[in-house]
Amino acid sequence: MKKSSFKHLHEAEELNITAFMNLMVILVPFLLITAVFSRMTVLELNLPALDAKANSQEKIELQLELVLRENSFDIRDANLGVIKVFPRSQGETRWDLFTDLLVEIKTRFPDEQDITLLLEPSISYKTLIHVMDRVRTADVVSVLTVETIELFPNISIGDAEIDMPENNQGGDQK
């Protein structure tokens, strides 16, 4: 056997990855710059307790409720009843009067932090978010400054009772 056959062995060639590295140098910064970074705000909500009314018989406190109806916002106390009804038309709400009443309630009960939002099924999600923003904080104009005050940050959500027309409850009477 001849030793000349060993001369024809192939040596391992190096991979030329220069073009691939050039592509990565361009592509990675481009992808990082164009990426959409989403930011979510999480709002912690509390569900109303089932035995909240049973425990409150010892000491009567303010249990503020806001009933969101299609044609009105009803602010009421769970113990005493309706405080104020804000009529609203299709998407038109007097937010300034609404905020003024909440600020007045907060000044009378400065330690109160809780409010329960009771929703009719026809209330839109957008309306719910607007109300939640208005209930948590308010901008109050002082002499030369605008102050943001905290109103009712602890928000609970529930379903509102459906109002039945009073003339149909007793049936037809002659």
Q: Domains in the chain, start-ordered, CATH in brackets?
A: 61-162 (3.30.420)
Kindly report the average pLDDT of the chain as a whole number. Answer: 78
Please give the distance of CA 144 from its chain centroid, rounded to a whole number.
Answer: 31
| Element of type H or E holding 39 | none
Give one DSSP letter per residue of 85-137, joined into a string: EEE-BTTB--HHHHHHHHHHHHHHSTT--EEEEEE-TT--HHHHHHHHHHHHE
What is the structure's pLDDT at 171? Answer: 45
Could you tell me if 43 and 153 are in contact, meaning their C-beta atoms sit under 8 angstroms apart?
Answer: no
Q: Could you give the angle at which helices 95-108 and 125-136 cross, rounded to 10 degrees?
A: 40
Q: What is the pTM of this model?
A: 0.58
Could you tell me if 35 and 103 are in contact, meaning their C-beta atoms sit under 8 angstroms apart?
Answer: no
54-72 pLDDT, tens digit per residue, is: 554 555 678 889 998 888 8
69-106 pLDDT, tens digit per residue, is: 888 888 888 888 888 888 887 767 778 888 888 888 88
In the block, residue with structure tokens 């037809």:
172
Residue 29 has pLDDT above 80, yes or no: yes
CA distances from residue 46 to 21, 43, 113, 156 in whole angstroms, order as listed: 53, 10, 12, 5
In the block, residue with structure tokens 């425990």:
55
